[in-house]
């Protein structure tokens, strides 16, 4: 394990990327500003899956430039990158054999975002990782929980349709295998594991399967009940632990308040704040995963670029 985790411990600083169909909306639905994280807009605006799927017809981030992003990571002092291969919306940001709800069925077809990023990372000496959501609002196995108390609860805790759990488990395995086979991902960063139909046993099975496919890979603890699984690394979110931890961990934060691109989110952290956070986290033994959310054209918000480059300069000076 020590050998497997070594590069990660040395890396200390990484780039998180939230990019998906929601990036086109920028937190607005039918002219209205929707509260909360922009990647959750389908839930917060209560958009039926069929209607949401129309967003594939307009997904065309022509300005997406993987090289520029990998260089930005490098110039900011980051050593690895984790990109949303599939967020809760269920859309695959790569060409997946197991669904049509993917980048290959958009006007952007012919380009493969994960492939471009992976190649750009290799060129720039950045390790490549992929985020994968277990919660899936598009897959036919799951449905909104109509008993939920709030619109958020209804989408956050979906129901598994009777007899469909095995199908979904297979689907997840197949897609993860694609991430390993086709993109040689170094990290699987799970999320959305909190639904009651996803058991620790399923999580552990999946973890073992992943390790059998690629023994050197790192998997975060969100494949099952987080507190039970510290290895390969823990993921306190938006929070830096008070005390030193006995296991490896990574804190993730976003530069403003939303992970996915949100037009009206102007609460940017300053370069000084980011710099200080990085040092506090690293001093306590953790890694810092810091998020950018490209917009629907594939452009990284200028504010994010400016802050990150400034942090890079500060790191060079010290």
Q: Total binding residues for ligand JFZ by CB under 6 A? A: 7
Nearer to ligand JFZ, 124 or 192 (CB): 192
39 binds ligand JFZ (CB under 6 A): yes
Only one of the segments 20-28, 37-45, 170-178, 213-221 lies at the binding site for ligand JFZ (rule: CB under 6 A); that segment is 37-45
Buried b (16+ CB within 10 A) or exposed e, 103-131: bbbbebeebbbbebbbbbbeebebbbbbb
Please choose, from the candidates 158, 78, 198, 67, the residue with its C-alpha nearest in 3D space to the C-alpha of residue 120.
67
CB-facing half-sphere around the CA of 223: CA atoms within 13 A: 27
Nearer to ligand JFZ, 33 or 237 (CB): 237
- Give min distance, CB of 252 to ligand JFZ, in A: 6
- Give min distance, CB of 48 to ligand JFZ, in A: 20
237 binds ligand JFZ (CB under 6 A): yes
43 binds ligand JFZ (CB under 6 A): no
Nearer to ligand JFZ, 233 or 259 (CB): 259
Q: How many helices (H) and strands (E) does the chain have?
A: 10, 11
- Give min distance, CB of 143 to ligand JFZ, in A: 18
Cis peptide before 232 (omega within 30 of 0): yes
259 binds ligand JFZ (CB under 6 A): yes
Only one of the segments 32-40, 172-180, 275-283, 300-308 lies at the binding site for ligand JFZ (rule: CB under 6 A); that segment is 32-40
Nearer to ligand JFZ, 39 or 136 (CB): 39
Running DSSP on this structure, what letter comes out for residue 183?
Answer: H
Those residues whose C-beta lies under 8 Å from the C-beta of residue 55, and which sit 6 or more positions away, are: 21, 22, 24, 25
Q: Which residue has the tokens 């930005």?
A: 72
Question: Across the chain, where does the E strand assignment appear?
Answer: 13-17, 28-29, 32-33, 80-86, 127-133, 142-143, 159-160, 187-191, 218-219, 250-254, 287-292
Those residues whose C-beta lies under 8 Å from the C-beta of residue 153, and which sit 6 or more positions away, are: 145
| Choice from 73, 252, 281, 311 touching ligand JFZ (CB under 6 A) | 252
Residue nearest to ligand JFZ (CB): 237
| Choice from 95, 136, 178, 191 touching ligand JFZ (CB under 6 A) | 191
Interatomic CA distance for residues 199 and 82, integer angstroms = 25
- Helix 302-317 to helix 271-283 angle, to the nearest 10 degrees? 60
37 binds ligand JFZ (CB under 6 A): yes
Only one of the segments 35-43, 57-65, 204-212, 292-300 lies at the binding site for ligand JFZ (rule: CB under 6 A); that segment is 35-43
Please choose, from the candidates 277, 192, 207, the residue with its C-alpha nearest in 3D space to the C-alpha of residue 239.
277
233 binds ligand JFZ (CB under 6 A): no
Nearer to ligand JFZ, 102 or 191 (CB): 191
Enumerate binding residues for ligand JFZ (CB under 6 A): 37, 39-40, 191, 237, 252, 259
């Amino acid at each position: 394990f020590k050998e497997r985790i070594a590069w990660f411990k040395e890396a200390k600083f990484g780039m998180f990327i939230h990019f998906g169909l929601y990036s086109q909306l920028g937190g607005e639905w039918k002219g209205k500003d929707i509260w909360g994280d922009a990647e959750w807009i389908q839930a917060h605006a209560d958009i039926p899956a069929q209607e949401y799927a129309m967003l594939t017809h307009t997904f065309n981030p022509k300005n997406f430039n993987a090289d520029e992003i990998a260089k930005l990571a490098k110039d900011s002092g980051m050593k690895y990158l984790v990109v949303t291969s599939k967020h809760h919306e269920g859309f695959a940001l790569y060409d997946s054999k197991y669904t049509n709800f993917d980048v290959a069925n958009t006007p952007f077809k012919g380009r493969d975002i994960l492939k471009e990023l992976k190649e750009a990372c290799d060129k720039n000496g950045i390790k490549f990782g992929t985020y994968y959501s277990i919660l899936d609002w598009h897959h036919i196995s799951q449905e909104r929980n109509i008993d939920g108390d709030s619109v958020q609860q209804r989408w956050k805790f979906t129901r598994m349709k009777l007899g469909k759990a095995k199908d979904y488990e297979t689907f997840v395995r197949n897609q993860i295998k694609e991430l390993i086979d086709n993109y040689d991902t170094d990290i699987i960063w799970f999320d959305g594991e909190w639904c009651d139909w996803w058991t620790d046993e399923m999580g552990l099975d999946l973890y073992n399967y992943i390790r059998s496919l690629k023994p050197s890979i790192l998997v975060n603890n969100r494949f099952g009940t987080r507190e039970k699984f510290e290895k390969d690394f823990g993921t306190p979110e938006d929070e830096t632990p008070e005390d030193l931890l006995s296991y490896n961990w990574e804190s993730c934060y976003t530069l403003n308040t939303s992970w996915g691109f949100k037009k009206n989110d102007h609460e940017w952290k300053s370069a000084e704040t980011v710099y200080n956070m990085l040092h506090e986290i690293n001093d306590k033994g953790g890694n810092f995963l810091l998020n950018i959310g490209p917009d629907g054209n594939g452009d990284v918000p200028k504010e994010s670029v400016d802050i990150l480059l400034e942090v890079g300069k500060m790191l060079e000076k010290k």
